[in-house]
Amino acid sequence: MQDVAIIGGGLVGLCAALVLQHPQRRVAIIEATEPGQPQQQGLNARSLALSASSVQIFRALGIWPQIEASAAPIRHIHVSSRGRWGVTRLEAADYDLDALGYVIENGALSRCLRQAVEACDNINVEDGAEFESIAQDETVTVEYRQHQREHRLEARLALIADGASSRAREALGVGHQCVDYGQSVVICNADFSAPKIDTAYERFTPQGPLAMLPLGGKRYACVWTLDPQQAAQVMTLADPEFGARLQDCFGFRLGLLERIGARFSAPIVRTSAERLQQGRCLLVGNAANALHPVAGQSFNLSLRDIACLYELLIDQNLASLDGDHIASIAGEYESLRAREQRQVIRYGDGLVMLFSNELPLFDHVRAAALGMLDLLPALKTQAAFAGMGLTFGGNRLLRGHL
């Protein structure tokens, strides 16, 4: 019997295991992929941005030094609207912070988390385990197929962390809503001739936002939002033509674009589960909310969900809790997380509406909004703290300690 079963051993599942493990608590991760699968590196690597709140959680877990060694800090953020005068600049020093956030390759973060998990005697990882079914009564029973054999695992509590197209969420009968933004994202890495140290750029265009995130040295991660037809068209271009289009959209703040890595593209769809709990099963990560990339909040919001669970379960002996007590904890988790999740979704959708609109009036509104934000310190501070995930305090993990 496990205390906690986590369905999905990606970045969110690994983080959940590290947060919820306890000397008197056994945790099992059920992960479909096999270990040691090759990760894209260098110019072809995928990456993500870590907010200041996520850094605090990793500090509390004692693994931030290992993660920081592979991460690039963001100390300056430059926000602009293409062809308009409005500009906003955010500086870490204004808030007495070393960095507003960090950028790290997915593979590097995964390796750090996996090493930390493997160092924990009370976390068991079932790799190559394909989820098949879930049922619950006095406990949660998860059935999965591993190496052509059927297996069954029982746990007192289950976390659903198997992504936006979650099979476990569907098996529980928890519905979800989808919002199609009518946009696609094109992702790649690029080398520039004149990189700005520790500086990230968010450039809004009528088709959608274009983010350039520092990866260290000359390398930047590009997240380019376009309408689906444009995205499909630029994906077919040879590197020189693609680079010219990207340079024209972004400009020359980083000098000349010198090299481009492999490109990836996908439609942008936000998914939100209709509820975050079903009996003894709780939803986290993209299984709960998969967001528009404009604010870079999906993974960071997931970590704050897990931090909330830590607070609710701290020092709890799950073996001693009856079904009513478990249900009470699950209901409190949903209640506590609903407000911030709604706020983050509204914030992202508002940015999409304001900065992905081709109506002439919106050009002036965008410029005015960025100009006012730069001139009003209180408003800029509020925006900065929202982006860093620090607007909902009171959690000990967000204060950087267990």
Q: What is the pTM of this model?
A: 0.89
- Go through 320-355 and write b for each residue having 16 or more CB atoms within 10 A of its CB, e for each that does not: ebeeeebeebbeebbebbeebbeebbebbbebbeeb
pLDDT at site 80: 79
Amino acid, res. 59: R
Distance between CA 362 and CA 155 in Å, rounded? 52
Q: Give Cβ neighbours of residue 356 (< 8 Å, ≥ 6 apart).
A: 181, 183, 204, 206, 207, 208, 209, 225
Distance between CA 27 and CA 12 in Å, rounded? 14
pLDDT at site 375: 47
pLDDT at site 236: 96
- Divide the 402 residues of the chain into consecutive groups of 10 and give the mean pLDDT of each group: 94 96 92 76 84 92 96 91 69 88 94 95 94 92 93 94 94 92 92 95 82 94 93 96 94 94 92 91 92 78 92 85 85 87 75 59 55 51 61 72 74
Distance between CA 303 and CA 281 in Å, rounded? 17
Half-sphere exposure for 313 (CA within 13 Å, toward CB): 31
pLDDT at site 372: 52
Q: Give Cβ neighbours of residue 156 (< 8 Å, ≥ 6 apart).
A: 1, 2, 3, 4, 139, 140, 280, 318, 319, 321, 326
Kindly state the tokens that stand for 229.
């037809």
pLDDT at site 399: 78
Domains of the chain: 2-178+269-399 (3.50.50.60)
pLDDT at site 401: 74
